[in-house]
Amino acid sequence: MSALMVNDAINFNDLKELINVTDGNLASHIRSLEENGYIKIKKGFIGRKTNTTYAATKAGEKAFKEHIAALEKMIRSIE
């Protein structure tokens, strides 16, 4: 999600390379994020090659910010 928070959209191959995971691992995470309404998927073509891009939804942005806030709160309570 952090990659989607700083990019308007990112394609499958770039995302896979950025977070250094396998196709299957990324696909399962993408599926979960989509099922929860956190990302939107756009499928298209560049020439004859398929191109799938992902972007965070408003719900995904909200959930990510809440997650970061909870982590920060937890860290502050340890200090």
pLDDT value of position 10: 97
Q: Name the DSSP class of 48.
A: T
The sign of the dihedral angle between the CA atoms of 20, 23, 28, 31 is positive
* pTM score, whole prediction: 0.84
Query: Domains along the chain?
Result: 2-78 (1.10.10.10)
Instruction: Note down pLDDT in tens along the chain; length 79 residues.
Output: 999 999 999 999 999 999 999 999 999 999 999 999 999 999 999 899 999 999 999 999 999 999 999 999 999 998 7
pLDDT value of position 78: 86
